[in-house]
Amino acid sequence: MLDRLREICTIDGTSGDESRVREYIMNNINADEMHVDNLGNLIVFRKGRKTPKNKIMLAAHMDEVGFMVTDITDEGFLRFGAVGGIDPRVVLGRAVRFANGTLGVVGTKAVHQQSAEERKKAPDFDDMLIDIGAADRAEAEKFVSRGSCAYFDSDFFAFGDGYIKGKAIDDRAGCLMMMDMINSELEYDMWFAFTVQEEVGTRGAKAASFTVAPDIALVLETTTACDIAGVSGEKRVCCLGEGCVISYMDRSTIYDRALYQLAFDTARELDIPAQTKTVVAGGNDSGAIHISRGGVRTCALSVPCRYLHSPSCVIKESDYAAVKALSEAMAVRCCEL
């Protein structure tokens, strides 16, 4: 798992620029049917041994947070904005890369040149620039242009007792789980949606769910864990090492109560560690899927992840295994409801 997760996470693909991720997935699955829609979603059908009572769709998004060049200065520096929800505090001083291999560093005015007031707050994106080592605008334009996407240039590695660090684990972890399901022998026919543009408003999921028209959807995701020093009680949201996160509500979805209970019942029966979020926060593709067409019964199963939307997302391998096991079991049970 670790090697394959490294492979898919190190592929670059911000919202609207997911083609390299999609190509990797298409080249590594054995599907009975697959097509790419006009928005860029990859929709896959896998034949099982039986035809299910309910039409099931599993979904995970291919895109990651990143950056887009908005202007080039006369001096050859790049002004940029965020693609997706990124805290500017995790950006300053980071290395970034472009799809054509161009490398850069995010910088701002040196601290000893800042006023006392400027030192009190983190710089916003408007105050930062990407330095690609160009002498002027003309040289910079040989490598990048307005609209070029940049990505965190981040190492992927395992550390500690089963911890994994890397960029884009949100949501390449979910994509990899679905790839494994597609490549397995399925009990029932199932649909899979590898969606685009989740990080900028769950846009791909809206189109994919309309096309597939499922009765039930299982969304495989990562979700924010705040189990770090200085955070206690319910503000920890969820914890690494405590298993699959089963959501009951977030800022875009109130999840199907029967599926929520079925997920916990299944986890207990199969001895799969599971937990729920202690704070109503965030959102995912479920927000678009559950209100598609005449409504879709929806359940979200997530890997708890520290430092989400940063170059250093951290998950635990045991939690990944728990989400994978529970999603496979839930897919079968949802077919039989």
Catalytic residue numbers read: 198
Q: Is the peptide bond before 71 cis (omega within 30 degrees of 0)?
A: no
Sequence-distant (6+) residues with CB within 8 A of 105 are 93, 94, 95, 96, 130, 131
DSSP state of 160: T
Interior angle at CA 286, CA 7 and CA 59, nearest 5: 35
**Rounded-to-integer distance, Cα 134 and Cα 143, Å:** 9
| Helix 169-182 with 19-26: angle, nearest 10 deg | 20
Tally Cβ neighbours within 10 Å of residue 1: 14
**Rounded-to-integer distance, Cα 166 and Cα 308, Å:** 10
The 3-state DSSP class for residue 205 equals helix
Sequence-distant (6+) residues with CB within 8 A of 202 are 195, 252, 283, 284, 285, 287, 288
What Å distances lie between residue 8 and 39, 67, 175, 180, CA to CA?
A: 21, 19, 9, 13
Residue where the block lists tokens 């079968």: 332
Query: Could you tell me if 148 and 98 are in contact, meaning their C-beta atoms sit under 8 angstroms apart?
Result: yes
